[in-house]
Amino acid sequence: MLRKTLSNSPPAQARPLTLLSIVIPARDEEGCVCSTVEHLHLELRLHNVPHEIVVVDDGSKDATWKLLTELRARLPELTPVKNEGLHGFGRAVICGLDRMKGDAAVIMMADESDDCRDVVRYWNELNQGWDCVFGSRFLKGGGVIDYPKFKLFVNRMANLFLQALFGIRLNDTTNAFKAYRREAIDGCRPLIAPHFNLTVELPLKAIVRGFSWKVLPITWRNRRTGEAKLKLREMGSRYLFICLYVWLEKYFSRGDYQKPQGSSGPV
């Protein structure tokens, strides 16, 4: 299948990566979190990707934490973490990024909506020297399965707005499933989005601050168990706040937060 890619600039030579951390926030995911971790681990092991899987329990009321601790006994690559502070998707992801040991990270959902094979492709591209690798479900070669029509419409409108506001070709900014070198993550701090708006804060900050990025087509499947955590009615103003926050940085910060030249990542 022909796959189209997008990028902002070719990567320069960068230090080789040694460990990939997959950060998975989970809240009340007892029906799928173990299969997500097991399938991911198998795929990465088959492709000889050195990895750890950091699953952050974000205040689950079900058996999610119990299942994770039981799975940890037979899967040493798994690191279950409890978010003991305030809860929220963004806070859980930040908690995982703070605890990760790897020099690169992939943020992934707990419900198996993201394809494990794409994680391997992300790892390979990061090793080519890219600071960030973003997935798009809307490039040729990508796709979505069982995407609710209303959510799909809102998604496309939101991403068109972001493309126009920031003048970028990335057409799936709101997708959480992305990969970053540690230098890019640290270069985007402080991360302030407490909820799903972190999914736009990270990539937009990385782009605005001058980190190199590439987009790959990916596939996405709607969850088969559990309940979706994203509530569109609650997130509109929060997304807009983060977008305007980064937009103000882009046009008024005078480059104060730009990626430093000569850093250990690609320049």
Question: Among 36-50, 145-159, 204-218, which is the least confidently predicted range?
Answer: 145-159
Q: What percent of the chain has pLDDT over 90?
A: 76
Confidence class of residue 4 from pLDDT cuts 50, 70 and 90?
low
pLDDT single digits (tens) 92-137: 999 999 999 999 999 999 998 999 999 999 999 999 999 999 999 9
Query: Looking at this protein, which amino acid is placed at residue 148?
Result: P
pLDDT at 229 over 90: no
Res. 226 pLDDT band, cuts 50 70 90: low
pTM of the model: 0.90
Q: What is the pLDDT of residue 266?
A: 35
Query: Are residues 67 and 225 in contact, defined by beta-carbon separation less than 8 angstroms?
Result: no
- pLDDT tens figures, 39-92: 999 999 999 999 999 999 999 999 999 999 999 999 999 999 999 999 999 999
Q: Which of 49-63, 233-247, 253-267 has the highest mean pLDDT?
A: 49-63
At 172, which amino acid appears?
D
Residue 179 and residue 21: Cα distance in Å, rounded?
A: 10
3-state secondary structure of 26: strand
For position 144, what pLDDT does the model report? 85
**First-last CA distance in the chain:** 32
Domains and CATH numbers, the chain: 18-252 (3.90.550.10)
Q: Looking at residue 12, what is its pLDDT?
A: 67
